[in-house]
C-alpha cells in the first residue's frame, strides 16, 4: 500500500509540475526572448574616455584613449602585450608608428599641413633614413650616421634642381653636387 501511495503521490506531483510548466512556460519564454532581443540591440551612442579590446584570455589587444592634450590615440598590441602599432592625431595631424617585438619604434609616418614625413629606424633607435616632403623647396631623402647626424642628403632645390649633398658632423654641407654641376 505504501508503494501505491508513493507512486500516486509522485504521479500527482509530476502532473502538477507539468501543469505549472505548461501554464508558466510561455511567460518565461517571452521574458527570455525579450531579454535576448534587448541584449542584441545596439546603443545609439556609446561614450567613454577610454576603450579597451581584450582577447579571450583577457589580454589587451587594442586601446583607444585620449592623450594628455586631448588628442585621440589608438594602440594595437601583439600576443606578447607589447605595442606594435599606434595611430595618433597630434595637433590635428595624423601619424602612424610601427614597433618591433621589443617595442622599438621602427617606422614613423606623419602627415602635416606642410607635407609628409617617413622615418626608418635601426637598432640605434633614431632615424637612419628619412623621407621628408615638408620642406617647401622640395623633398629630401636623408641618411644618418650612428650618432643621428644627417650625413647624406638627396634633395630637390628650386634654385639648384636635383642635388646630392654630403654633410659633416657639425651639420654643415661639406660637398654638394647639383644637376648644374659643382658650385
Inter-residue contact 174 to 167 (CB < 8 Å): yes
Inter-residue contact 93 to 110 (CB < 8 Å): yes
CA–CA distance from 116 to each of 104, 131, 133, 155, 164 (Å)?
A: 22, 8, 5, 15, 21
- Rounded to whole angstroms, the Cα distance separating 138 from 155 reads 7
Whether 139 has a pLDDT exceeding 90, the answer reads no
- Rounded to whole angstroms, the Cα distance separating 177 from 183 reads 7
Q: How confident is the model at residue 169 (pLDDT cuts 50, 70, 90)?
A: confident
First vs last Cα of the chain: how many Å apart? 123
Whether pTM > 0.85 for this model: the answer is no
Q: How confident is the model at residue 55 (pLDDT cuts 50, 70, 90)?
A: very high
Considering only CA atoms, which of 53, 58, 88 is closest in space to residue 71?
88
Inter-residue contact 156 to 162 (CB < 8 Å): yes
pLDDT tens figures, 76-120: 999 999 999 999 998 888 999 999 988 889 999 999 888 899 999
Considering only CA atoms, which of 150, 152, 145 is closest in space to residue 175?
152
- Rounded to whole angstroms, the Cα distance separating 108 from 126 reads 11
User: Hunting for cell 629630401 — which residue is that?
Assistant: 140
Q: Strand pairing partners for 63?
A: 52, 75
Amino acid at each position: 500500500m505504501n508503494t501505491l501511495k508513493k507512486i500516486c503521490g509522485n504521479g500527482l506531483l509530476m502532473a502538477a509540475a507539468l501543469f505549472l510548466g505548461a501554464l508558466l512556460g510561455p511567460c518565461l519564454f517571452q521574458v527570455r526572448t525579450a531579454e535576448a532581443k534587448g541584449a542584441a540591440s545596439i546603443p545609439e551612442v556609446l561614450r567613454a574616455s577610454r576603450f579597451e579590446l581584450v582577447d579571450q584570455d583577457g589580454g589587451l589587444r587594442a586601446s583607444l584613449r585620449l592623450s594628455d592634450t586631448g588628442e585621440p590615440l589608438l594602440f594595437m598590441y601583439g600576443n606578447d602585450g607589447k605595442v606594435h602599432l599606434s595611430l595618433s592625431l597630434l595637433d590635428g595631424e595624423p601619424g602612424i608608428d610601427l614597433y618591433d617585438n621589443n617595442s622599438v619604434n621602427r617606422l614613423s609616418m606623419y602627415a602635416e599641413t606642410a607635407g609628409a614625413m617617413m622615418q626608418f629606424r635601426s637598432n640605434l633607435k633614431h632615424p637612419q633614413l628619412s623621407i621628408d616632403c615638408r620642406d617647401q623647396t622640395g623633398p629630401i631623402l636623408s641618411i644618418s650616421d650612428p650618432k643621428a647626424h644627417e650625413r647624406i642628403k638627396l634633395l630637390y632645390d628650386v634654385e639648384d634642381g636635383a642635388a646630392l649633398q654630403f654633410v659633416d658632423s657639425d651639420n654643415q654641407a661639406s660637398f654638394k653636387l647639383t644637376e648644374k654641376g659643382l658650385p
